[in-house]
Amino acid sequence: MLHSITPLLAVLASLAAVPFIILLKGRPNAREAVTFIAAGIKLILVASLLPAVLAGGEVEFTLAKVLPGAPLALRVDAFGLLFALVSSSLWIVTSAYSIGYMRGLDEHSQTRYFCFFAVALSATIGVAFSANLFTMYLFYEMLSLATYPLVTHHQDAEARSSGRKYLFYIMGASIALALPAMIITYQQTGTLAFSPTGILAGKVSPVMAGVLLFMFVFGFAKAGIIPVHSWLPAAMVAPTPVSALLHAVAVVKVGVFSILRIITGIYGVDLLKGLDLGMAVAWVAAFTIIVASLIALSQDGLKRRLAFSTIGQLSYIVLGLALLSPKGMTGGALHIAMHAFGKITLFMCAGAIFVATGKKNISQMTGIGKRMPWTMAAFLVGSLSVIGLPPTGGFISKWYLALGCLQAGSVALLVVLLVSSLLNAAYFLPIVYRAYFKPPVEAAWAEGRNEGPAAAWVPPLVTAACSLVLFFYPQPFLRLAQMAVAQLFGG
Amino acid sequence: MSEQYPALIVITPLLAALLVSAAGWLRPRLCFPLALAGLGAAAAAATGLLVQVLATGPVTYRLGGWEPPWGIAYYVDNLNAVVAALVAWVALFNLVASYRAVMTDYPEKIGPYYTLYVLAVTGMLGMVVTGDAFNLYVLLEITSLTGYALIGLGGGRAPLASLNYLFLGTIGASFYLLGVGYLYIVTGSLNMADLAKLLTPLYGSLALLAAFAITLVGLWMKMAFFPLHAWLPNAYGFAPAPTASLLAPLMTKVMVYVMIRIMISVFTVEFVLQEVLVGQLVVWLAVAAMVAGALFALGQRDLKRMLAYIVVAEVGYMVGGAWLGNRLGMTGAVLHLINDAVMTFCVFLAAGCIYQKTRGTSFEDLRGLFKKMPWTMAALAAGAMAIIGVPPTGGFFSKWYLIRGGLEAGHWGFVGALLFSSLINVVLFFRVFEIAFFEPSGGDDSHGGHGGHEEHGGAVALAEAPLSMLLPLMAAALGLIALGLATGPLVQKLILPIIPAGLG
Amino acid sequence: MIWQIDLAVLLLVVICAVGALAVKDLMGAAILFGAYSFLMCILWAVMGAVDVAFTEASVGAGVSTVFFVAAVFRTSRRTKD
Amino acid sequence: MQKPPTPQERYQAEAQVISGQIRPVKRFYAFLFVFPTLMALWVVLSGRFDAFHLILGVISCALVSFLSGDLLFPHAPHPRQTFRLWWRFPLYVPWLLYQIFLANLHLLYLTFHPRMLQLIDPHMVRFRSTLKSEMALLTFANSITLTPGTITVRVSPDGDFVVHAIDRFSGEALPGEMEKRVARTFGED
Amino acid sequence: MKALALAIVVLVGGLLVSATVDFPDWADPNSPASRHVSPRYIEKTMEETSVPNIVTAVLADYRGYDTMFETAVVFTAGVACFLLLRRREPRPGPSRVYRHRATGVIVEMNRVPDKEPSPDVFKRIDDDWTPHDLIVMNVCRLLIPFIQLFALYVIAHGHHSPGGGFQGGVILGASVILMALSWDLRTAMLRMKETATGLMSAMGVFIYAGVGALALALGGNFLDYAALSPLLRVDPVAARSLGIFFVEVGVGLAVMATMVLIYKNLASEGRLDQGL
Amino acid sequence: MNLVVIIILGLGLVFFAGGAVGILRFPDFYSRLHPAGKMDTLGSFLMLGALALYHLHPFTLDNVLVAIKIMLIVVFYFLASPTATHAIVDAGIRAGQSAWQKPKQGAGS
Amino acid sequence: MDKIFLYASLILCLIMVLSLYRALFGPSVLDRLIGVNAIGSKTTVLLVLVGLLFHRVDMFVDIALAYALLNFVAVLAAARYFQKRGGLGR
Amino acid sequence: MEEYIPLLLTKYNYWVYITLMMIGLWAMIAKNNLVKKIVGMNIFQTAIILFYVSIGAKYGGTIPIIQHGPGHGHGAAQIKALAYINPLPHVLMLTAIVVSVATLGVALALVIKIHRRHRTLEEDEILEQLRES
User: What DSSP line would sit under E21-89, residue for residue?
Assistant: TTSPPTT-TTSHHHHTTHHHHHHHHHHHH--SBHHHHIIIIITHHHHHHHHHHHHHHHHHHHHHH---S
CA dist., res. A466 & res. A477, Å (int): 12
Touching status, chains D and A (3+ beta-carbon pairs under 8 Å): no
Query: What per-residue confidence (pLDDT) applies to B446?
Result: 40
Residues of chain E neighbouring D15 (CB-CB closer than 8 A): 104, 187
Q: Is B423 within 8 Å of A176 when comparing Cβ atoms?
A: yes
Please indicate, yes or no, if residue A292 is contained in any of the structural domains.
Answer: no
Residues of chain E neighbouring H75 (CB-CB closer than 8 A): 46
Residues B352 and B241 sit within 8 Å (Cβ to Cβ): yes
CA-to-CA separations, A460 to A29, A353, A476, E192, in angstroms, rounded: 22, 11, 21, 86
Work out the pLDDT band at E17, boundaries 50, 70, 90: confident
With an 8 Å Cβ cutoff, is D46 touching chain E? yes
Domain range annotation of chain C: 3-74
Q: Which of E6, E22, E34, E271 to mutate to test the interface with H (most CBs of H within 10 A)?
A: E34
SS3 assignment, position A107: coil
Residues F86 and D145 sit within 8 Å (Cβ to Cβ): yes
The strand pairing partners of D123, in sequence order, are D165
Q: Which of B9, B14, B74 to mutate to test the interface with E (most CBs of E within 10 A)?
A: B14
Residues A367 and A440 sit within 8 Å (Cβ to Cβ): yes
Q: Return the beta strands (E) in B272-381 as ranges.
A: none
Examine the pLDDT at B451 and tell me if it is beyond 60: no
* Cβ neighbours of H30 (radius 10 Å): 20
CA-to-CA separations, B333 to A82, B291, B487, in angstroms, rounded: 41, 17, 13
Residues of chain C neighbouring G9 (CB-CB closer than 8 A): 2, 4-5
Q: Is A186 within 8 Å of B389 when comparing Cβ atoms?
A: no
Structural domain of D55: 7-72
Could you say which residues from 147 to 186 on chain A have a Cβ atom under 8 Å away from some Cβ of chain B? 149, 152, 155-157, 159-160, 163-164, 167, 171-172, 175-176, 179-180, 183-184, 186
- Among candidates D157, E37, D38, which has minimal Cα distance to B183? E37
Last-in-domain residue among D34, D49, D72: D72
DSSP secondary structure string, chain D?
Answer: -PPPPPHHHHHHHHHHHHTT---HHHHHHHHHHHHHHHHHHHHHHH---SHHHHHHHHHHHHHHHHHHHHHH-SSPP-HHHHHHHHHHHHHHHHHHHHHHHHHHHHHHHHHH-TTHHHH---EEEEEE----SHHHHHHHHHHHHHSTTEEEEEE-TT-EEEEEESSHHHHHT-SHHHHHHHHHHTT--
Please indicate, yes or no, if residue B105 is contained in any of the structural domains.
Answer: no
Residues of chain F neighbouring G57 (CB-CB closer than 8 A): 51, 55, 66, 70
pLDDT tens digit sequence for E106-160: 666 666 555 555 555 444 443 334 556 778 888 888 888 889 999 999 898 888 8
Work out the pLDDT band at B117, boundaries 50, 70, 90: very high
Verify that D66 and D90 share a domain, yes or no.
no
Q: Give the end-to-end CA distance of chain H in Å, rounded to a whole number.
A: 58
Query: What per-residue confidence (pLDDT) applies to B87?
Result: 92
pLDDT tens digit sequence for H46-95: 999 998 888 888 887 788 888 764 444 444 456 777 788 888 888 888 88
Query: What per-residue confidence (pLDDT) applies to A439?
Result: 81
- Among candidates E192, E177, E196, E200, which has minimal Cα distance to E74? E200
The total number of structural domains that make up chain A:
1
CA dist., res. B54 & res. C66, Å (int): 52
Verify that D99 and D157 share a domain, yes or no.
yes
Could you say which residues from 81 to 140 on chain E have a Cβ atom under 8 Å away from some Cβ of chain B? 81-84, 86, 88
What is the mean pLDDT of the segment spanning B174-201? Answer: 88
> Starting at the edge strand that comes first in sequence, how are the strands of the sheet with A59-67 ordered?
A2-3, A59-67, A70-76
Residues B329 and B410 sit within 8 Å (Cβ to Cβ): no
Average pLDDT, chain D: 76
Please indicate, yes or no, if residue B465 is contained in any of the structural domains.
Answer: yes
Residues A83 and A128 sit within 8 Å (Cβ to Cβ): yes
- Bridge-based pairing state of the strands A59-67 and A70-76: antiparallel
- Among candidates B107, B99, B122, which has minimal Cα distance to B24? B107
* Alpha carbon B436 to chain centroid, angstroms: 27
Examine the pLDDT at F105 and tell me if it is beyond 80: no
Query: What per-residue confidence (pLDDT) applies to G40?
Result: 86
Per-residue pLDDT of chain A (491 residues; tens, 9 = 90+): 678 888 888 888 888 888 888 888 888 888 888 888 888 999 999 988 888 888 878 888 888 888 888 888 888 888 888 889 888 888 888 888 888 888 877 777 788 888 888 888 889 999 999 888 889 998 998 888 888 888 888 888 888 888 888 888 888 888 888 888 988 888 888 888 888 888 887 788 888 888 888 888 888 888 888 788 888 888 888 888 888 877 777 888 888 899 888 888 888 888 888 888 888 888 888 999 999 999 888 888 888 888 888 888 888 888 888 888 888 889 988 888 888 888 889 888 888 888 888 888 888 888 888 888 888 889 999 999 988 888 888 898 999 999 989 888 888 888 988 899 899 898 888 888 888 888 887 777 767 777 777 878 888 888 899 888 888 888 778 888 888 888 887 65
CA dist., res. H115 & res. H76, Å (int): 57
Residue type, E136: V
The total number of structural domains that make up chain B:
1
Structural domain of B349: 278-504
How far B459 CA lies from chain A's nearest CA (Å)? 9
CA dist., res. C34 & res. B110, Å (int): 36
Residues of chain E neighbouring B153 (CB-CB closer than 8 A): 83-84
Verify that D107 and D37 share a domain, yes or no.
no
pLDDT tens digit sequence for B6-49: 888 888 999 999 999 999 889 888 899 999 999 999 999 999 99
How many alpha carbons fall within 13 Å on the CB side of residue D184? Answer: 11
Please indicate, yes or no, if residue B496 is contained in any of the structural domains.
Answer: yes
Burial of B456: CB neighbours in 10 Å, binned 0-12, 13-18, 19+: exposed
The total number of structural domains that make up chain H:
1
Query: What per-residue confidence (pLDDT) applies to E117?
Result: 54
Residues A10 and A129 sit within 8 Å (Cβ to Cβ): yes
**Closest Cβ opposite residue G90 in set C35, C41, C77:** C77
Please indicate, yes or no, if residue H126 is contained in any of the structural domains.
Answer: yes
Examine the pLDDT at B92 and tell me if it is beyond 90: yes
Query: What per-residue confidence (pLDDT) applies to B46?
Result: 92
With an 8 Å Cβ cutoff, is E128 touching chain F? yes
- Bridge-based pairing state of the strands A59-67 and A2-3: parallel
Query: Domain containing H50 — which CATH number?
Result: 1.10.287.3510
Work out the pLDDT band at D34, boundaries 50, 70, 90: confident
ipTM of the complex: 0.89
A476: preceding bond cis by omega (within 30 degrees)? yes
Query: What per-residue confidence (pLDDT) applies to B125?
Result: 92
Number of H helices, E strands in chain F: 4, 0
How far G63 CA lies from chain F's nearest CA (Å)? 10
Residues E144 and D151 sit within 8 Å (Cβ to Cβ): no
Q: Is H19 within 8 Å of C14 when comparing Cβ atoms?
A: yes
Residues C27 and C54 sit within 8 Å (Cβ to Cβ): no
* Alpha carbon E247 to chain centroid, angstroms: 15
E164 in the Ramachandran plot: left (φ > 0), alpha (ψ -120 to 50) or beta?
A: left
- Among candidates D145, F84, F47, which has minimal Cα distance to G69? F84
Residues D119 and D110 sit within 8 Å (Cβ to Cβ): yes
Residues G34 and G26 sit within 8 Å (Cβ to Cβ): yes
Burial of B446: CB neighbours in 10 Å, binned 0-12, 13-18, 19+: exposed
| E strand or H helix that includes residue B61 | strand B59-62
Q: Is E143 within 8 Å of F80 when comparing Cβ atoms?
A: yes
Q: Is B423 within 8 Å of A175 when comparing Cβ atoms?
A: yes
User: Subunits that touch chain F (at least 3 Cβ pairs < 8 angstroms)?
Assistant: D, E, G
Query: What per-residue confidence (pLDDT) applies to H76?
Result: 47
Query: What per-residue confidence (pLDDT) applies to B455?
Result: 39
Q: Is C8 within 8 Å of G85 when comparing Cβ atoms?
A: no
Structural domain of H90: 4-59+86-132
The strand pairing partners of B60, in sequence order, are B75
